[in-house]
Structure 1
Amino acid sequence: MVYHVPPETAHFVDREDEQARAFRAVTEWKHASRPLCLALSGLGGVGKTELAYRLARSLRDRYPDGVLQVDLDELRRGGVVEVTDALGQLLNALDISGSWLDQSLRDRTRQYWDRTDGRRLIVLVDNARTAAEVLPLLPASGDSLAIVVSHGPLYDLADGAAVELPLAPLSDRDAAELLRLIVDDPRLVAEPAALGALLRLCSGLPAALRVAGQWLRRHRRRPLTRLLTELDTELTDRGLPMVEAVWDAAYASLDADAALLYRLAPHYPGGSFTPEGATVLLGRGRDAADDALEALETAGLLDPRGERVRMPDLLRAHAERRGRETDGSGAEREAARVRVVRWYLRQAQRADLLAAGPRLTLAAPAEPVPAAPDVTFGAGQATDAYRWLEAERHALHGCVAEATRLGLDDVAWALCEPLWTHFLDHPHYTDTADSFQLGVAAARRAEHPAALARMRSQLARVLWEQGEFDAAAAELAAAQAAVGLLGPSEQHRKLAASVVEFRGMLHGRRGDWQSAAADFAEARQVHRDIDNAYGVLLQTYRLGEALAALGEYQRAAELLTQAHRLAAEQHRERLLGRTGLALAGVLRRLGRPAEARARYEAALANARARGATYEEARVLRAFAELAAEQGESAEAATLRAAAKRIEARHGATARA
Structure 2
Amino acid sequence: MVYQVPPETAHFVDREDEQALAFRAVAEWKGTARPLCLALSGLGGTGKTELAYRLARGLRERYPDGVLHVDLDDLRRGGVIEVTDALGQLLGALDIEGRWLDQTLRDRSRQYWDRTDGRRLIVLIDNARTAAEVVPLLPASGESLVIVASHGPLPDLESGSAVELPLEPLGDRDATELLRLIVDDPRLAKEPEAVGGLLRLCSGLPAALRVAGQWMRRHRRRPLARLLAELEDELTDKGLPMVEAVWDAAYRSLDENAALLYRLVPLHPGGSLTGEGAAALLGRGRDAADDALDALETAGLLDPRGERTRLPDLLRGHAERRSREDGDEAERRAAATRVVRWYLRQAQRADVLAAGERLTLAARAEPVEGAPDASLGEGTPADAYRWLEAERHALHGAVAQAARLELYDEAWALCEALWTHFLDHPHHADTADSFTLGVQAAQRAEHPPALVRMRSQLARVRWEQGEFDAAAEELTLAQAAAELLDGSTVHRKLAASVVEFRGTLHGRRGDWQSAAADFAEARKAHRAIDNAYGVLLGTYRLGEALAALGELERAEELLTQACRTARELRRERIASRAAFALGGVLRRRGRPAEAAPLYASALAAARARGADFDEARVLHALADLAEERGEHEESARHRAAAKTIEQRRGA
When normalised by structure 2's length, the TM-score is 0.98
Q: Which amino acid in structure 2 is aligned with residue 3 of structure 1?
A: Y
Q: Which residue of 2 aligns with 1:644?
A: 643
Shift of 1:258: 1.1
Shift of 1:198: 1.0
Q: Is residue 341–residue 368 contact of structure 2 (8 Å, CA) maintained in 1?
A: yes
Q: Which residue of 2 aligns with 1:413?
A: 412
Shift of 1:631: 4.1
Q: Which residue of 1 aligns with 2:477?
A: 478
Alignment of 1:428-439 (within 5 A): 428-439=427-438
Q: Deviations over 1:185-236 (max 9, x none)?
A: 1111111111111111111100011001001111111111111110111101
Q: Which residue of 1 aligns with 2:593?
A: 594
Q: Secondary structure at the match of 1:124?
A: strand
Shift of 1:380: 4.1
Q: Which residue of 2 aligns with 1:197?
A: 197
Q: Which residue of 1 aligns with 2:489?
A: 490
Whether 1:90 and 2:122 are equivalent positions in the alignment is: no
Once the two structures are overlaid, the 10-residue window that deviates more, 447-456 or 85-94, is: 85-94
Q: Is residue 449–residue 482 contact of structure 2 (8 Å, CA) maintained in 1?
A: yes
Shift of 1:623: 2.5
Q: Which residue of 2 aligns with 1:37?
A: 37
Q: Secondary structure at the match of 1:596?
A: helix
Q: Which amino acid in structure 2 is aligned with residue 474 of structure 1?
A: E
Q: Deviations over 1:241-265 (max 9, x none)?
A: 1111211111111122111111111
Instruction: Name the CA distance, whole Å, in 1 between partners of 2:67 and 2:403.
Output: 39
Instruction: Name the CA distance, whole Å, in 1 between partners of 2:158 and 2:440.
Output: 44
Instruction: Name the CA distance, whole Å, in 1 between partners of 2:607 and 2:365.
Output: 37
Q: Deviations over 1:286-308 (max 9, x none)?
A: 22212211111111100012211
Alignment of 1:48-447 (within 5 A): 48-327=48-327, 329-447=328-446
Q: Which amino acid in structure 2 is aligned with residue 451 of structure 1?
A: A
Whether 1:532 and 2:536 are equivalent positions in the alignment is: no
Once the two structures are overlaid, the 10-residue window that deviates more, 349-358 or 629-638, is: 629-638
What percent identity do the matched residue pairs reach? 78
Instruction: Check 1:255–1:608 CA distance in 2 against 1; reply closer, same or farther (3 A cut).
Output: closer
Shift of 1:597: 2.8
Shift of 1:362: 0.3
Whether 1:584 and 2:568 are equivalent positions in the alignment is: no
Once the two structures are overlaid, the 10-residue window that deviates more, 142-151 or 371-380, is: 371-380
Q: Which residue of 2 aligns with 1:559?
A: 558
Q: Secondary structure at the match of 1:450?
A: helix
Q: Which amino acid in structure 2 is aligned with residue 56 of structure 1?
A: A
Instruction: Check 1:293–1:46 CA distance in 2 against 1; reply closer, same or farther (3 A cut).
Output: same
Q: Which amino acid in structure 1 is aligned with residue 152 of structure 2?
A: G
Q: Deviations over 1:362-401 (max 9, x none)?
A: 0111111111111122224322111111111111111111
Q: Is residue 99–residue 426 contact of structure 2 (8 Å, CA) maintained in 1?
A: no
Q: Which residue of 1 aligns with 2:570?
A: 571
Shift of 1:632: 4.0
Q: Deviations over 1:60-86 (max 9, x none)?
A: 111111111111100100011111111
Instruction: Check 1:486–1:323 CA distance in 2 against 1; reply closer, same or farther (3 A cut).
Output: same
Instruction: Name the CA distance, whole Å, in 2 between partners of 1:223 and 1:320.
Output: 30
Q: Which amino acid in structure 1 is aligned with residue 305 of structure 2?
A: R
Q: Which amino acid in structure 2 is aligned with residue 316 of structure 1?
A: R
Instruction: Name the CA distance, whole Å, in 1 between partners of 2:437 and 2:398.
Output: 11
Q: Which amino acid in structure 2 is aligned with residue 81 of structure 1?
A: I
Instruction: Name the CA distance, whole Å, in 1 between partners of 2:609 and 2:45.
Output: 48
Instruction: Name the CA distance, whole Å, in 2 between partners of 1:107 and 1:95.
Output: 17
Runs of 4+ with >6 A deviation: none
Q: Deviations over 1:477-506 (max 9, x none)?
A: 111111111111111111111111001111
Alignment of 1:451-530 (within 5 A): 451-530=450-529
Instruction: Name the CA distance, whole Å, in 2 between partners of 1:158 and 1:166.
Output: 16
Once the two structures are overlaid, the 10-residue window that deviates more, 27-36 or 165-174, is: 27-36
Instruction: Name the CA distance, whole Å, in 1 between partners of 2:367 and 2:421.
Output: 22
Once the two structures are overlaid, the 10-residue window that deviates more, 393-402 or 565-574, is: 565-574
Q: Deviations over 1:8-59 (max 9, x none)?
A: 1111111111111111111111124221111111000000011111111111
Q: Is residue 353–residue 379 contact of structure 2 (8 Å, CA) maintained in 1?
A: no
**Alignment coverage as a number of residue pairs:** 651
Q: Deviations over 1:579-607 (max 9, x none)?
A: 11111211222222222233223322332
Q: Secondary structure at the match of 1:371?
A: coil
| Structure 2 gap ranges (5+) | none
Once the two structures are overlaid, the 10-residue window that deviates more, 94-103 or 517-526, is: 94-103
Shift of 1:96: 1.8
Instruction: Name the CA distance, whole Å, in 1 between partners of 2:392 and 2:376.
Output: 17
Instruction: Name the CA distance, whole Å, in 2 between partners of 1:515 and 1:15.
Output: 66
Once the two structures are overlaid, the 10-residue window that deviates more, 501-510 or 584-593, is: 584-593
Q: Which residue of 1 aligns with 2:613?
A: 614
Q: Secondary structure at the match of 1:127?
A: strand
Q: Secondary structure at the match of 1:69?
A: strand
Instruction: Name the CA distance, whole Å, in 1 between partners of 2:317 and 2:607.
Output: 51
Instruction: Name the CA distance, whole Å, in 2 between partners of 1:12 and 1:500.
Output: 62
Shift of 1:132: 1.4
Q: Which amino acid in structure 2 is aligned with residue 425 of structure 1?
A: D
Q: Secondary structure at the match of 1:309?
A: strand
Q: CA RMSD in A?
A: 1.3
Q: Which amino acid in structure 2 is aligned with residue 573 of structure 1?
A: E
Instruction: Name the CA distance, whole Å, in 2 between partners of 1:282 and 1:611.
Output: 38
Q: Which amino acid in structure 2 is aligned with residue 104 of structure 1?
A: T
Q: Secondary structure at the match of 1:81?
A: coil
Shift of 1:352: 0.9
Instruction: Name the CA distance, whole Å, in 2 between partners of 1:600 and 1:365.
Output: 39
Alignment of 1:539-558 (within 5 A): 539-558=538-557
Q: Which amino acid in structure 1 is aligned with residue 383 of structure 2?
A: D
Instruction: Name the CA distance, whole Å, in 1 between partners of 2:101 and 2:466.
Output: 18
Q: Secondary structure at the match of 1:476?
A: helix
Instruction: Name the CA distance, whole Å, in 2 between partners of 1:648 and 1:146.
Output: 24
Q: Which residue of 2 aligns with 1:16?
A: 16
Q: Deviations over 1:602-647 (max 9, x none)?
A: 3223322332211111112222233334444443333222211110
Q: Which amino acid in structure 2 is aligned with residue 271 of structure 1?
A: G
Instruction: Name the CA distance, whole Å, in 1 between partners of 2:570 and 2:90.
Output: 36
Instruction: Name the CA distance, whole Å, in 2 between partners of 1:556 and 1:421.
Output: 28
When normalised by structure 1's length, the TM-score is 0.97
Q: Secondary structure at the match of 1:323?
A: helix
Q: Which residue of 1 aligns with 2:46?
A: 46
